[in-house]
Amino acid sequence: MLFDSKLPDVGTTIFTVMSRRALDEGALNIGQGFPDYPIDPRLADALVAAIGEGRNQYAPMEGVVELRERISLKLKASYELDIDPHAEITVTCGGTEALYDAIQAVVGPGDEAVIFDPAYDAYEPAVRLAGGRCVRIALAPPAFRFDWDEVRHRLSGRTRLIIINSPQNPSCSVATREDLDALAALVRDRPISVLADEVYEHVLYDGRRHASVLAHPELRERSFAVFSFGKTLHATGWRVGYCVAPAPLTRELRKVHQFNTFSIASPLQYAIARYLSAYPEAWTGLSAFFQAKRDLLAGRLRGSGFEPVPAAGTYFQLVDYGALSGDGDVNFADRLLKEAKIATIPLSPFYAAPPAMTLLRLCIAKKDDTLEAAADRLCAFAARLKRA
Ligand SMILES: Cc1ncc(COP(=O)(O)O)c(C=O)c1O
């Protein structure tokens, strides 16, 4: 049967492509963002217990009450916020579903959504499936700072959504409170919602503090904030995330969620609720945990030709291979896979119009042994290139 694809130019994501190729090539995969170490065994025990107790039927559409109450307490502890667990929190299938639902809730045919490149790849297809169009604004490496004047110029009467991601994957940059003030000034008196992808909220380095839209009174009333237990509990395969938004926005988001996934795996929700109730501060050491990994990898690579770019947050580290080669990043990542047996993620696929750059993204959510082995392979490859 002949039919028109709704997303003719969308292929398999760069993450899946590189992970598959890593398997084919027998390469070490420090490309895709997932931990290679186990979850806390107490979290695993909580899941077994929830299943044993019979928590195996449909969960409520909005999410299990115990979990939403725990999330509310966690938001209080993190940001001193009072969030209504019943009207303002929805449990979703990872952060990904929350992003999709929020976009479908507010973007309609002909509408525009502003996104910042290098942009996480889930945003644009969701905007297009809603009938909208993305206005893509490039952040320039290596600092990847926002230019709010440019953003103002790119707004139109059709702009309905601005999507920000902080800490940002893949640039490892973070938005400041001043960025949020500038954003608030831009959307004031305009019918524009904000979608804040804050899945790396607990991974900021060198003493930085996360500036959440929820803690910005003006932005809070027009924002969806998206979070992920995949990142916070090192359990990306559990696919549990949540969206926090004021009641009117939450009502609209739930209309989409209800007919998208309906509800999220019940025992997983009970397990997370129990675990957070027993260990309410399970997530507080995340920045230190990942900062040690960042420093381990960056320390081993410095001076090798894979120069670490200062990382402010996320569980990634960018490296600049410009001293070794002028190849484009997709080609260079390909060579690394084949010749050094190591999978990395090139940055240009995250841009609509990539700037000239020689950057690769490495994931630091790996065992120290994995990071050391990766650094050894990269250093050996760099040494071979320098000799050639
Ligand atoms: C910036 C960003 N947003 C959203 C997600 C999706 O989160 P989840 O795995 O909870 O769906 C990811 C996952 O890598 C991410 O990096």
State the distance from the centre of ligand 1 to the C-alpha of 97, rounded, in angstroms. 10
> Phi and psi for 343 in degrees, rounded to 5?
-100, 125
> Residue 386: what residue type?
K
Q: Which of 120, 139, 315 to mutate to test the pocket of ligand 1 (most atoms within 8 A of CB)?
A: 120
Ligand 1 proximity of 32 Cβ (cutoff 6 Å): no
- The helix (H) or strand (E) run that includes residue 154 is helix 148-154
Q: Are 128 and 279 within 8 A, CB to CB? A: no
Ligand 1 proximity of 171 Cβ (cutoff 6 Å): no
Ligand 1 proximity of 315 Cβ (cutoff 6 Å): no
- The helix (H) or strand (E) run that includes residue 180 is helix 177-187
pLDDT tens string 348-357: 999 999 999 9
* pLDDT less than 50: residues of the chain: none
Ligand 1 proximity of 230 Cβ (cutoff 6 Å): yes
Measured from the Cα of 239, ligand 1's closest atom is 10
State the distance from the centre of ligand 1 to the C-alpha of 154, rounded, in angstroms. 26
Q: Which of 199, 232, 350 to mutate to test the pocket of ligand 1 (most atoms within 8 A of CB)?
A: 199
- DSSP category for residue 310: P
Token readout for 92 is: 């979703």
Measured from the Cα of 168, ligand 1's closest atom is 1
State the distance from the centre of ligand 1 to the C-alpha of 342, rounded, in angstroms. 23
Measured from the Cα of 231, ligand 1's closest atom is 10
State the distance from the centre of ligand 1 to the C-alpha of 195, rounded, in angstroms. 14
Measured from the Cα of 93, ligand 1's closest atom is 11
Q: Long-range CB contacts (< 8 A, 24+ apart) of 184-188?
A: 184/216, 184/218, 184/219, 186/148, 186/151, 186/152, 186/155, 186/162, 187/162, 187/219, 187/222, 188/218
Q: Are 245 and 95 within 8 A, CB to CB? A: no
Listed in sequence order, the DSSP H helices in 261-326 are 266-278, 286-301
Token pair 């960025």 is at which residue?
179
Measured from the Cα of 229, ligand 1's closest atom is 10
Q: Whose CA is nearest to atom 14 of ligand 1?
A: 33
Q: Are 272 and 47 within 8 A, CB to CB? A: no
Q: Are 233 and 39 within 8 A, CB to CB? A: yes
Ligand 1 proximity of 141 Cβ (cutoff 6 Å): no
State the distance from the centre of ligand 1 to the C-alpha of 357, rounded, in angstroms. 24
Token pair 């009467």 is at which residue?
157
State the distance from the centre of ligand 1 to the C-alpha of 164, rounded, in angstroms. 13
Measured from the Cα of 241, ligand 1's closest atom is 10
Ligand 1 proximity of 313 Cβ (cutoff 6 Å): no
Q: Are 174 and 206 within 8 A, CB to CB? A: no
What is the dihedral sign for C-alpha 117, 34, 370, 290?
positive
State the distance from the centre of ligand 1 to the C-alpha of 131, rounded, in angstroms. 23
Contacts of residue 290, Cβ cutoff 8 Å, sequence gap at least 6: 203, 205, 315, 364, 365
Measured from the Cα of 314, ligand 1's closest atom is 16
Give the pLDDT confidence score for residue 181 in this predicted structure. Answer: 98
Phi-psi label, residue 163: left if phi above 0, alpha if psi -120 to 50, beta otherwise? beta
Measured from the Cα of 197, ligand 1's closest atom is 3
Give the pLDDT confidence score for residue 16 in this predicted structure. Answer: 84
